[in-house]
Structure 1
Amino acid sequence: MAVDVDGLSTLFNKDTCTRRGLCPVTRIRNQSEIVESHSVYYEQHGTGPRKVVFIMGLNSSSFAWAAQGDYFGKLEGYSILLLDNRGVGHSTTPRGPYTTKGMAEDVIVLLDYLDWKADRDLHIVGVSLGGMIAQELALRIPQRIVSLTLAVTTPGGHWWTNFPPWKGVVGLTKLLLTPEPEKKIAILLPTVYPQAWLDAKAEDDPEGRTNYEVQVVIYRRRIAITAPQFFMGAVSQMAAGLTHHVSAEQLKTINDTIPYIHIVTGDSDNLVWPGNSRYLAKCMPDAEFEQWEHTGHAIHVQRPAKFNSMLERSFAKGIRRCS
């Protein structure tokens, strides 16, 4: 763990960090919702020409990208951008409810702030709610995007169709009503990972711990260096997920304007029905789709090496299609 500028803590490698701070999002362009001024926390790692934007999901900070930040931050040729969405992590919490459109506008403000404006220059990676935000980005700045990776996400629809499976509903409700960090961890882990995986021995762990034991340590560390999330931020992000909707016609537009799209889901997801990813693939026939066996919602954490390898291939395919 490193403590750096402005007294804000980070889990990412300070040696690869090129800039970090708070983007003063004082005016969100083309946004219908009314929110007060707020700031978005970000970190950039690396200085290479391949620019990757990682967008995290519901009520999770950018630190959930730890495995991706460590890997791509040190990989030659990459510049990666990690951010905390409004209402979580080191970002501020404006009044809600939020929308995925408004959260996407936050990202665009940040990209402009960092001068990441060039055409066909960005690889966008979104997981869960981050994937919903990524879809909105693809509709707003398609000319800037080289590749789009949509992991364990959905195009949404009517709010009542956006609810997760029952186990996810129960888990999210308990998390919302549970203030104690240790109790939150015990609720969260079986919600985002398959129980069989949690019970199994962790690969390459010198202490021979189970995946559950390893993840408890990781989540304790994340909680320890991140300010507790306000109730307003949690329910407002939930509102964004429940109201998200990108139509079949809009998905076709994304299909036709983004050079390369990759859709990935797990078969044991308790928060977003895997069928939503299959529907995305149906509406975007040029996209590549895969479903991983025995894999839960936190797909990028449960299968980090496989996920990172998939991203490298996706980025390369996007670049080839633009050449």
Structure 2
Amino acid sequence: MGLGGLKTAWQRQTKDFGHTQGDKYTSLIFDNRGIGESDKPLMRYSTSEMAKDTVELLDHLEWTSSRQLHVIGISMGGMISQELALLIPCRIASLSLISTAPRLIRTIPFAENLRNRINLFMPKPLDTQIANVKRELYTAVWLAKPDETEYTVQPFPTNGDRFAAGEIAKRQDPEAFNRRGFVAQAVAAGWHHKSAVQLKELGDRVGRGRIQVVHGTEDRMITLLHGEVLLRELGGTEAGVTKAFYEGQGHVIPIEERNEFRELVERMVRKTEGSGKEDVELIVQDPLSEAAERSGAEFWMNKRTWHFAAVRARDRSFWKLKKPSGILVYRLAWKFHCNYPFICKSGTKGRGLTSMVLPNFFTKSSSKKKNPDSKDPEAETPSSEKRTASKVVRDRDRDRDRRPPSTRSSKNHRRSPPSRYDHDSHPLNLPPDERKRLSAVRAMSDQPTPMDTDQDGRASSAPSSPVPDAPGAFPTMNGANGTKEEEENHAPPPPPHKTPTSPPPQPAPPVVDPEACKATGNKFFKAKEYEKAIKEYTKAIEADPKTPTYRSNRAAALMSANRFSEALEDARAAVDMEPDNKKSLLRLARVYTSLGQPQEALNVYARILPPVSAADTAAAKSMQQHVQQAEEQLRTGASGSLALHALDQAEKGLGPRVDTPRRWKLMKGEAYLKMGNVNALGDAQNVAMSILRSNNQDPEALVLRGRALYAQGDNEKAIQHFRQALSCDPDFKDAVKYLRMVQKLDRMKEEGNALFKSGKYQQA
């Protein structure tokens, strides 16, 4: 099961296979670590470790036959199934990977992705959490359908209501669902990573004909791109992998398309039943014992009780809940030096006892103290390689000492013995006679000779600093007039004291040609590579920020990339620079329409001369008409359904990924309140919360939620919301009106109760 999912979410499939077809199938469902009835240890989870949990459970049940298991994994469960297939490929008869990914691929800008990740862990009201999960997991069509689940109890009005009730029950049970386990599972899913090489190995070892990739095209939780990458890196349909992409489906295909999913699994079962057991070569490596001995790995034991449910109905009578009677003991190898994990076959000390080495991110450094009495043979006797290396170094040093002094150009520089003074000392710290000698040496060394070709230092290949251990490391004057006694008595010159100079001027940055960048951006735009086009137009703007064409072109690229808010800024800037440019005005009007601002769009169209055609203004006029119809229905109509319909029509003119304008959301909330039924009141609260997530001090949204709570009978919370709205805007009349109304109602209710208790029933 996926992130935060209980084993009971598979109840439809356990009925379809383990109950209805109990003579053919035995179903096994269980809670992953961190959720439900399984333990929730405080440690870092990973999909590889969770797969090993599954292997131990299978070993305990003695489900160890070759090609026995038909594995179905959805979302994070699909990630665990990938790891499981690499651990026990020979046991898997078929592998169904549903709405999952080989690794998480960022399909939105970095800032938005970071905001979404942070928002995932922000505390929210329960109804907001459930509304968000419903939107991410299921399609709106399925949520609105009547609940047709075959239960003896009364069904819920819609599928969405059933899901919400189940989520409330789960989240209010701290034993089944807590934040610690959920966050640990989220870390495991977020860090799951299977490379193309690993997926190729998976396909080779399991057999591509046994694998199917299932995904919905409208999946918001794990987008279709992830399923396409998974299918491609497994080898694709041409290599035998089954592709099942459902048009218009969301994340939870087994629930939304229950019958089709059952048939899909059954087809895969029939397909693999005819495959031989020896059609896939299995490569088994068992180097743990030797590797552990080499690396000094140390083992530790951990005991944990694993609860699971095996739904069996071979006798077609009822569903049985089975739990293991004993404690599953498993053994982990804590990794010290190994840089890769090993997997070895089951141990002999008990059923389900498995040895394994944890991955690299669990490494620890071993700090064992050496016994002073113990002897290290390697330290006492160097290896042959070390002895050879030492001999080479000694021979090289001996040859260097025997070499005669090297020549530098045509000057025969003769070497002097080391000076009695410190060469690194500043000249002003030396005695006066030494300073005079050094000055003379410096003056003579600066005199050019006809054969000097490297006096400026550019042609010299000699090192800039002398080697202090080499004799004669510092050259003296030209040796024509020098004597042996002078060479022995004269010390070499120390490095001259130089005044620090300013760094050399840096080369000027290359000049950017804005027209060339614009031309490149146009090519990318025509090729529909909008992000690259945006970068080129940005370079042109930075080089010449006063040319409106570059701004207008970038606005067009941003619109095509569905980044309408940024496009609005560029379109406005282009119009400000060139107010009468028809193309820039048209672009600005279209951005306004895509953002749900039809009146502003029509105002811009009115500025264009000659006037634009009716086709250009049709989208903005249609949007404005639908919004006006919704306003009229809310003002005069008795039902809000017509207003909702008008707003839905208006939303069709919005750009892709553009959020519904705040005013439209408030109108929707008003329409839901007019409808007044239980579902509509819940939808009104969801609308209010979607606005409050952006601004929790919005007085109109607070009043909207307060009215919904009042309609649901929760007067106390309603009053709190009205008071909070007044604290944000003391002059907000609606907040004052509804606060007084609810307070008056509470007073009348109390008076009526008092009259009723005193026997004055008529007055009550």
Q: What is the TM-score of this pair, normalised by structure 2?
A: 0.32
Per-residue CA deviation, residues 239-261 of structure 1 (Å, 9 max, x unaligned), is 11111111111111121222400
Structure 1 residue 276 displacement after superposition: 1.2
Query: Which residue matches 2:226?
Result: 276
Letter in 2 for 1:95: L
Distance 2:254 2:49 in 1: 25
C-alpha spacing 1:317/1:196, structure 2 compared with 1 (3 Å): same
Question: 236, 249, 252: which one pairs with 1:298?
Answer: 252
Query: Which residue matches 1:146?
Result: 93
Question: 221, 228, 242: which one pairs with 1:288?
Answer: 242
C-alpha spacing 1:308/1:163, structure 2 compared with 1 (3 Å): farther
Which sits farther off after the overlay, 291-300 or 135-144?
291-300
Residues 1-323 of structure 1 aligned to structure 2 (within 5 Å): 56-74=1-19, 75=21, 76-156=23-103, 161=106, 176-178=121-123, 181-202=126-147, 209-220=157-168, 227-259=175-207, 260-285=210-235, 286-322=240-276
Distance 2:30 2:108 in 1: 25
1:146 is paired with a residue whose SS is strand
Letter in 2 for 1:83: F
Query: Which residue matches 2:642?
Result: none
Letter in 2 for 1:311: V
Structure 1 residue 262 displacement after superposition: 0.8
Please tell me the root mean square deviation across aligned C-alpha atoms, in Å.
3.0
Distance 2:219 2:109 in 1: 9
Structure 1 residue 231 displacement after superposition: 1.7
Query: Do the aligned residues in 1 keep the contact of 2:170 with 2:177 (CA within 8 Å)?
Result: no
C-alpha spacing 1:100/1:162, structure 2 compared with 1 (3 Å): farther
Letter in 1 for 2:201: T
Report the count of equivalent residues.
266
Which sits farther off after the overlay, 217-226 or 291-300?
217-226
Query: Do the aligned residues in 2 keep the contact of 1:165 with 1:272 (CA within 8 Å)?
Result: no
Distance 1:85 1:145 in 2: 19
C-alpha spacing 1:127/1:170, structure 2 compared with 1 (3 Å): farther
Query: Do the aligned residues in 1 keep the contact of 2:106 with 2:113 (CA within 8 Å)?
Result: no
Letter in 1 for 2:218: S
Distance 1:276 1:200 in 2: 28
C-alpha spacing 1:207/1:242, structure 2 compared with 1 (3 Å): closer
Per-residue CA deviation, residues 23-67 of structure 1 (Å, 9 max, x unaligned), is xxxxxxxxxxxxxxxxxxxxxxxxxxxxxxxxx011111111121
Query: Which residue matches 2:394?
Result: none
Relative to its length, the structure with more strand (as a share) is: 1
Per-residue CA deviation, residues 97-136 of structure 1 (Å, 9 max, x unaligned), is 2111111010011111111111111111100000000000
Distance 1:93 1:237 in 2: 10
Distance 1:171 1:297 in 2: 18
Query: Do the aligned residues in 2 keep the contact of 1:153 with 1:272 (CA within 8 Å)?
Result: yes
Unaligned stretches of 5+ in structure 2? Answer: 278-764
Which sits farther off after the overlay, 294-303 or 107-116?
294-303
Structure 1 residue 173 displacement after superposition: 6.0
Query: Do the aligned residues in 1 keep the contact of 2:37 with 2:176 (CA within 8 Å)?
Result: no
Query: Do the aligned residues in 1 keep the contact of 2:148 with 2:155 (CA within 8 Å)?
Result: no
C-alpha spacing 1:79/1:200, structure 2 compared with 1 (3 Å): closer
Q: Point out the structure with max Rg over C-alpha.
A: 2
Letter in 1 for 2:75: S
Letter in 2 for 1:305: N
2:135 is paired with a residue whose SS is helix
C-alpha spacing 1:195/1:210, structure 2 compared with 1 (3 Å): same
Fraction of identical pairs, as percent: 32
Distance 1:164 1:225 in 2: 36
C-alpha spacing 1:61/1:175, structure 2 compared with 1 (3 Å): farther
Letter in 2 for 1:242: G
